[in-house]
Structure 1
């Protein structure tokens, strides 16, 4: 008898993915509810693959070298699976996602691009917790990062939902949508990321407003250097970021014309939820450095209801 590992039980693998998405995808999972069962199941597998990828690079309990090794190993496993090699049945999330890649025609470079984006977080010298440094020098570098960790994910999603002209007129609004979502996350997590040593606003943007990375920590905000002057600079910086991200949401609007009715529903729900998160960050102003803003469950439910209505819009 062959010593090869038995094929994974795909039904069990997909069920594991759905449980992970339900447990950890506090914003994404709500939007999946607008999809028919087969697409909802596939989105759970896609989410699980992305969640595992992100967690491998972001586990604070693991030493940096160990995380770098883990993400390289995950990339090797993913490359092998994309080539058609058998998947270790113990890696249920990967087995389910590979089935989605095959059936939905997801280009093989997209999941690898996502892994490369997470690996970029681990490259080079790491700042110490509480001593933040800027991760990017320019907006172009930030946008490249947004493509890898959000835009490529969005393109995978569009293959599941059904989308026309993914290599044509739909591509730019799809990438704008990814930038909008990721930059919304960056605003929400400013203080939390700074506490771990990371600032995802470009250095050129901070310099434009005379803000230092340490100013984003939020701790002792009332006593930070320069008193009211630095508070004013921070407020101007945050307003500028919110305005730019709103423009990204506007650039993403043409995407609705390219997706299937089911895709319009989930895209509507996701855009509403993340748009509300941006609104919360805007209303919080400088307090976004003191507390993590959230979208209430009732507003998420309203976004899902709007998504169902969007599916039937002519």
Structure 2
């Protein structure tokens, strides 16, 4: 399940309004039109909230410096929020204070919050596309992954253990890939290319080919390869339900199903994915949500 600057598809962070103006990879699917959060993309369960599972959305050039500076001040605000009392003057926003309390009571390691904020001020605010797969993975490590764990990590007392953290890292990888593909047309129109440039070179495709939605064998091969990578990443998230808190399993399962539905829609769209963003539709998501709701009710005593 990506969060962001652009406000359109970010997964809303718990401290939205305090920590992050947008949202990151793993949030619930968004329906168009949707606003973004921070400069990165969307994407996961904590992320399960960004405009859709878009983890993070790389932001537009305008406002990056302002976003970077504001984000740099957040660690101090979070720390003050954790130590403030309702009667204190100049106290942090209630939502930020509540989040800081949750971090403290659940003993979430501070490094997840600091990593997310640092990533928002660097990898996110300075986003300028990816040269290759390594840069994409570095972006996930610096911003999208911590952005999801600052929320989903609260389900684990003391924070996620290595196995749990690794499972959410795989979730973020899948969510961000699906999100980038679903928003391909809109991102290109806004001047952002989120497919690594090296992969365009591998298929002899130019940025202009994508921006002009040229229906060529090379472009189709590139899109097929990208959706294939996203599908493999989504399959790699199998097993995450066993590592989630029982109360969050229905939400996590729903997010996975919605991501799979959206990826299928992108695959069916083919070259059309370059002409308009790919949504979730209405009927399929509604069925998924109703099924999840019924499942939760059946397990309620």
| Global fold match (TM > 0.5) | yes
Going from structure 1 to structure 2, the CA distance change for 1:269 and 1:71 (only over 3 Å counts) comes to same
Deviations 1:210-247 (A, max 9, x none): 122233224xx35xxxxx5xx22111111111111111
TM-score, normalised to structure 1's length? 0.68
Provide the C-alpha distance between the structure 2 equivalents of 1:92 and 1:235, rounded to a whole number of angstroms.
49
Deviations 1:31-79 (A, max 9, x none): xxxxxxxxxxxx899969xxxxx79x8477x54433332232334433x
Provide the C-alpha distance between the structure 2 equivalents of 1:159 and 1:250, rounded to a whole number of angstroms.
22
Specify the alignment match of 2:134 in structure 1: 140
Tell me, yes or no, if the aligned pair for 2:136 and 2:196 is still in contact at 8 Å.
yes
Q: Let me know the Cα RMSD of the aligned residues.
A: 3.9
| Residue range with higher mean Cα deviation, 188-197 or 64-73 | 64-73
TM-score, normalised to structure 2's length? 0.70
Going from structure 1 to structure 2, the CA distance change for 1:169 and 1:245 (only over 3 Å counts) comes to same
Provide the C-alpha distance between the structure 2 equivalents of 1:288 and 1:93, rounded to a whole number of angstroms.
37
Shift of 1:288: 0.7
Going from structure 1 to structure 2, the CA distance change for 1:44 and 1:252 (only over 3 Å counts) comes to closer
Higher relative contact order (CA closer than 8 Å, sequence separation 6+)? 1
For structure 1, list consecutive stretches of 5 or more residues without a partner in the other structure. 1-12, 30-42, 49-53, 127-134, 223-227
* Structure in which a larger fraction of residues adopt helix: 1
Specify the alignment match of 1:191 in structure 2: 185
Equivalences for residues 233-252 of structure 1 within 5 A: 233-252=218-237
Provide the C-alpha distance between the structure 2 equivalents of 1:168 and 1:68, rounded to a whole number of angstroms.
29
Specify the alignment match of 2:115 in structure 1: 113
For structure 2, list consecutive stretches of 5 or more residues without a partner in the other structure. 1-13, 32-44, 51-55
Which of 84, 94, 97 aligns to 1:95? It is 97
Specify the alignment match of 2:10 in structure 1: none
Specify the alignment match of 2:6 in structure 1: none
Specify the alignment match of 1:211 in structure 2: 205
Computing the radius of gyration over CA atoms, which structure comes out larger, 1 or 2?
A: 1
Provide the C-alpha distance between the structure 1 equivalents of 2:266 and 2:232, rounded to a whole number of angstroms.
16
Specify the alignment match of 1:6 in structure 2: none
| Residue range with higher mean Cα deviation, 255-264 or 147-156 | 147-156
